[in-house]
């Protein structure tokens, strides 16, 4: 079976109750490919999750943008995987580069979060990607394979994982990876999975691209054989997100 195209919208730390309603109204009214053809997952900030879940069309799912690394308890300000499960939030984004950089989340910490969230029954969008400095030093594959290895060392089942390749230099910068750059890394990641996990996982796991995806560049990127979808930041707050969903076909 082929890999179903996946489009995630990461709203990051944006929105008001009124703005959320407006975006959800646009999504709900959109004519997009069926859920058999594309999986759409919307990730608002924690505080808006119940609102979005309640209002959003049933063929789109919701994701949290983070979860705590273990069972909840005395961790002020954190949200546990159990809480997300309790609220029937099916997905969580983990290891976003903004958290890795600003909050110093290490490869091991992200991998622990991925393993814990999967163990609680959540599906995970696991983010990896190199900085500009690392790319220019020719270290892209070393960096992304180390990030992936940390995860591979801690999980046995990849069924509920989507791997998001998000070069840090492309996130929120307007500087998108070329289709060839994205394809090269995705293809190398698949080869890494063949060698280090299994050919079944390499064949079935969806590797999506993130970093300044918009209505103008999504079609060519989506045409790459190893690009199985997108994680979209800025453009997911705008009506052009619909065009990105449509690039699945
Ligand atoms: C992201 O935050 O995951 C992202 C890809 O952002 P943007 O699309 O704005 O570059």
Q: Can you tell me the ipTM of this complex?
A: 0.98
3-class secondary-structure state, position 247: coil
Q: What CA–CA distances, in Å, run from 192 to 6, 25, 145? A: 21, 41, 7
Residues with Cβ within 8 Å of residue 169, at least 6 apart in sequence: 130, 131, 132, 135, 175, 211
Of 23, 82, 34, nearest to 60 (Cα)?
34
pTM of the model: 0.98
Q: What is the mean pLDDT of residues 110-117?
A: 98
Q: What is residue 1's predicted lDDT score, i.e. its pLDDT?
A: 59
Active-site annotation, residues: 96, 166
The per-residue DSSP string of 3-47 comes to PPEEEEEE--S---HHHHHHHHHHHHH-----TTTEEEEEE--GG
Q: Give the chain's largest Cα–Cα span.
A: 48
Distance 73 CA to ligand 1 centre (A): 31
CA distance 137 to 139: 5
Residue 206 contacts residue 4 (beta carbons within 8 Å): yes
CA distance 139 to 91: 30
Q: What is residue 77's predicted lDDT score, i.e. its pLDDT?
A: 97
Residues with Cβ within 8 Å of residue 235, at least 6 apart in sequence: 213, 214, 215, 241, 244
In this predicted model, what pLDDT tens digit does every residue of 42-87 receive, in sequence order?
Answer: 999 999 999 999 999 999 999 999 999 999 999 999 999 999 999 9
- What length is written for the chain? 249
Whether ligand 1 lies within 6 angstroms of the CB of 95 is answered as no
Among 93, 234, 240, which is best to mutate for testing ligand 1, by the most ligand atoms less than 8 A from CB? 234
Q: Which residue reads 């002020």 in tokens?
A: 76
Q: What is the mean pLDDT of residues 29-40?
A: 97
Q: Residue 245: is its pLDDT beyond 70? A: yes
Q: What is residue 229's predicted lDDT score, i.e. its pLDDT?
A: 98
Q: What is residue 193's predicted lDDT score, i.e. its pLDDT?
A: 98
CA distance 210 to 218: 10
Q: Which amino acid residue places its CA nearest to atom 7 of ligand 1?
A: 233
CA distance 127 to 122: 15
In which band, very low, low, confident or very high, does the pLDDT at 231 lie, cut at 50, 70 and 90? very high
Whether ligand 1 lies within 6 angstroms of the CB of 175 is answered as no
Q: Which amino acid residue places its CA nearest to atom 3 of ligand 1?
A: 233
Q: Which amino acid residue places its CA nearest to atom 8 of ligand 1?
A: 233
Q: What CA–CA distances, in Å, run from 129 to 56, 88, 163? A: 30, 29, 10
CA distance 10 to 96: 10
Q: Residue 236: is its pLDDT beyond 90? A: yes
Q: Which amino acid residue places its CA nearest to atom 4 of ligand 1?
A: 233
Percent of the chain with pLDDT over 90: 99
Whether ligand 1 lies within 6 angstroms of the CB of 213 is answered as yes
Domains in the chain: ranges and CATH: 5-246 (3.20.20.70)
Average pLDDT over the chain reads 98
């Amino acid at each position: 079976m082929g890999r179903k195209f996946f489009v995630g919208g990461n709203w990051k730390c944006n929105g008001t109750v009124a703005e959320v309603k407006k975006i959800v109204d646009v999504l709900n009214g959109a004519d997009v490919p069926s859920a058999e053809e594309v999986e759409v997952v919307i990730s608002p900030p924690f505080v808006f999750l119940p609102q979005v879940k309640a209002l959003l069309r049933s063929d789109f799912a919701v994701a949290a943008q983070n979860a705590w690394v273990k069972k909840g308890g005395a961790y002020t300000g954190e949200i546990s995987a159990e809480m997300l499960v309790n609220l029937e939030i099916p997905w969580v984004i983990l290891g976003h580069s903004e958290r890795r950089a600003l909050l110093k989340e290490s490869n091991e910490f992200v991998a622990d979060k991925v393993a814990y969230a999967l163990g609680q029954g959540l599906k995970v969008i696991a983010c990896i990607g190199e900085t500009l400095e690392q790319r220019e030093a020719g270290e892209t594959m070393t960096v992304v394979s180390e990030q992936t290895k940390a995860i591979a060392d801690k999980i046995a089942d990849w069924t509920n994982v989507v791997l998001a390749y998000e070069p840090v230099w492309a996130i929120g910068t307007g500087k998108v990876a070329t289709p060839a750059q994205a394809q090269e890394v995705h293809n190398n990641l698949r080869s890494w999975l063949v060698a280090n996990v299994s050919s079944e996982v390499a064949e079935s796991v969806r590797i999506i691209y993130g970093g300044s995806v918009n209505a103008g560049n999504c079609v060519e990127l989506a045409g790459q054989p190893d690009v199985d979808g997108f994680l979209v930041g800025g453009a997911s707050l705008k009506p052009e997100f619909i065009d990105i969903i449509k690039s699945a076909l």
